[in-house]
């Protein structure tokens, strides 16, 4: 049979569109033409496939070989197609049988020796291959993450010869099974490690319970980073779908680790990070920190030190939970539903209001420092709090004096989240203005308090909606149907920076 057709996958964002690899042999002068890949990658791919076939003692046909990767306009990285191209040549020359090929998808980069090298995105590709009812043959190092797709048939292979032995039936490849449903080990840092700071801990619980973004303002060393690191541990356990989505995004960067399965991610990029590193991009678009934080937490420390233009790009994903990247001809979209947490010092030196009195920053300097954060970004942060310096004699010396453990708080948070999902199918942070009017009902005293606060503090319409959403979460934590005055009062207390600007 001078024609062989095999199935493989390209990657486009988190999607893995199908690619057919057609290999055709014709009489004529020996040639090896490859259609459907960028010119720069064609030569490398041809060289790898030719060498791998010759070094595994197969015959490389002295005929006119044409390989066509279709469709032609998909973004493709050549390496992953080495394996299907090599197998196609072998099937077209009847060195292996062609009959089993339609039942499989293949991806893997060949070393010159015929060994298979890992590829990125194996999990996203397997999700689609499984949906289309095919087994997936993958490099061994990529097969483990692929097997996380429930019931997917994944065959790990170390080299070209072992794949051929599988197709001839001489020696079937093993099947990689999903790792035993392991209970995610609770190694996350615990809330009870943070000394004192009862009010900020409460704000962290409220943020966790409603999916609210959080800004912490306070001098260095008061535990802002410690608190942020403990937020993922307060969130409800990840569902299987959430775990798969998170793992698939990490797999796109080739850095998924099995021990992170089912664990909410915490990403803490440094303020020198570029816009591409933060939101994703590149010639062949890769996910950035905001997508690696999908279903988890993105923590930006020293917020005023970040480049304003870098922060501006956070606005779209904060609203939409997705990021669209278009660069030249290539477009990609990645999920980015993360909980946003930021921290900053109160002034350039960091010690404004510190009991030591060591701050000598002028009001102008302080205003300029805070002005580096754009109003529109600040407007999108639901909960804004101060994390004050503790007087040194307030440090508790007794064990157990630090308050509740993460597990106890997580229980309350999970109940509050479940109430929201039952009522409206999403967390309060993601309510649209019209839904807020309908779902955030106040009792009479709550209504009166909110009205007087609006007049007194001159809050914007956005701030008004944010107060209502946060108050709804506080009421959900208390299992209350209506929002009362106490809930509103606490929510108003979380607009720290609005009040400073007013």
Residue 313 and residue 316: Cα distance in Å, rounded?
6
CB of 345 to Zn ion, least distance (A): 8
CB of 291 to Zn ion, least distance (A): 36
At 341 the three-state DSSP class reads strand
Residue among 152 and 352 whose Cβ is closer to Zn ion: 352
Residue among 232 and 346 whose Cβ is closer to Zn ion: 346
Q: Which two tokens stand for residue 349?
A: 């030196």
With beta carbons less than 8 A apart as the criterion, state whether 341 and 213 touch. yes
The β-bridge relationship of strands 104-106 and 135-139 is parallel
CB of 380 to Zn ion, least distance (A): 26
The β-bridge relationship of strands 154-157 and 297-300 is unpaired
CB of 221 to Zn ion, least distance (A): 14
Backbone angles phi, psi at 442, to 5 degrees: -105, 150
Residue among 74 and 349 whose Cβ is closer to Zn ion: 349
Query: CA nearest 454: which of 439, 436, 466, 441?
Result: 466
Residue-wise DSSP of 250-298? HHHTT---GGGTT---EE---TT--HHHHHEETTTTEE-HHHHTTTSEE
Residue among 129 and 347 whose Cβ is closer to Zn ion: 347
Return residues touching Zn ion (CB under 5 A): 347, 349, 352, 359, 361
Residue among 75 and 348 whose Cβ is closer to Zn ion: 348
Residue among 352 and 488 whose Cβ is closer to Zn ion: 352
Residue among 238 and 361 whose Cβ is closer to Zn ion: 361
Residue 460 and residue 482: Cα distance in Å, rounded?
23
CB of 410 to Zn ion, least distance (A): 36
CB of 300 to Zn ion, least distance (A): 21
Query: CA nearest 163: which of 91, 68, 93, 112?
Result: 91
User: At what angle are helices 198-210 and 406-424 packed, to 10 degrees?
Assistant: 30
Residue among 97 and 348 whose Cβ is closer to Zn ion: 348
CB of 381 to Zn ion, least distance (A): 22
CB of 304 to Zn ion, least distance (A): 12
Distances (CA, A) of 2 to 84, 86, 105, 314: 16, 14, 20, 53
List of residues 6+ apart from 431 with CB closer than 8 A: 424, 439, 440, 469, 472
User: Chain centroid to CA 393: how far?
Assistant: 41
List of residues 6+ apart from 417 with CB closer than 8 A: 209, 211, 236, 427
């Amino acid at each position: 049979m001078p024609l062989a057709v095999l199935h493989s996958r390209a990657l486009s964002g988190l999607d893995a569109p199908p690619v057919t690899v057609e290999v055709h042999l014709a009489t004529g002068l020996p040639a090896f033409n490859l259609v459907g890949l960028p010119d720069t990658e064609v030569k490398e791919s041809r060289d790898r496939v030719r060498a791998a076939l010759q070094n595994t003692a197969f015959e490389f046909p002295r005929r006119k070989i044409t390989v066509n990767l279709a469709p032609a306009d998909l973004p493709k990285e050549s390496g992953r197609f080495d394996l299907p191209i090599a197998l196609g040549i072998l099937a077209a020359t009847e060195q292996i049988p062609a009959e089993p090929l339609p039942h499989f998808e293949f991806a893997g980069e060949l070393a010159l020796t015929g060994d298979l090298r890992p590829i990125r995105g194996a999990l996203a590709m397997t999700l689609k291959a499984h949906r289309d009812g095919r087994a997936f043959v993958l490099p061994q190092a990529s097969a483990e993450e692929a097997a996380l797709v429930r019931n997917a048939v994944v065959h790990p292979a170390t080299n070209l010869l072992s794949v051929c032995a599988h197709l001839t039936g001489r020696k079937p490849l093993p099947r990689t099974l999903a790792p035993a449903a392991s209970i995610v080990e609770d190694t996350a840092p615990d809330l009870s490690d943070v000394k004192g700071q009862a009010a900020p801990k409460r704000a962290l619980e409220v943020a966790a319970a409603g999916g609210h973004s959080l800004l912490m303002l306070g001098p260095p060393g008061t535990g802002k980073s410690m608190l942020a690191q403990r937020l993922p541990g307060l969130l409800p356990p990840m569902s299987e779908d959430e775990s798969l989505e998170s793992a698939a995004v990490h797999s796109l960067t080739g850095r998924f680790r099995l021990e992170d399965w089912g664990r909410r991610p915490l990403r803490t990029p440094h303020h020198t990070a570029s816009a591409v590193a933060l939101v994703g991009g590149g010639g062949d678009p890769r996910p950035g920190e905001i997508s690696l934080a999908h279903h988890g937490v993105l923590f930006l420390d020293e917020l005023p030190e970040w480049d304003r233009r870098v922060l501006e790009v956070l606005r779209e994903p904060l609203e939409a939970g997705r990021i669209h990247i278009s660069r030249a001809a290539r477009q990609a979209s990645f999920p980015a539903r993360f909980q946003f947490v930021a921290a900053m010092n109160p002034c350039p030196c960091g010690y404004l209001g510190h009991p030591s009195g060591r701050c000598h920053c002028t009001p102008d300097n302080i205003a300029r420092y805070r002005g580096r954060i754009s109003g529109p970004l600040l407007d999108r942060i639901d909960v804004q709090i101060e994390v004050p310096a503790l007087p040194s004699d307030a440090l508790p010396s007794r064990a157990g004096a630090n308050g509740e453990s993460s597990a106890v708080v997580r229980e309350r948070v999970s109940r509050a989240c479940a109430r929201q999902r039952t009522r409206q199918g999403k967390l309060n942070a993601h309510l649209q203005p019209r839904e807020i009017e309908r779902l955030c009902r106040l009792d009479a005293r709550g209504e009166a308090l909110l009205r007087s606060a609006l007049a007194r503090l001159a809050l914007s319409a956005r701030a008004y909606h944010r107060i209502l959403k946060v108050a709804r979460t506080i009421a959900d934590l208390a299992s209350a149907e209506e929002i009362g005055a106490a809930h509103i009062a606490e929510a108003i207390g979380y607009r720290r920076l609005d009040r400073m600007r007013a």
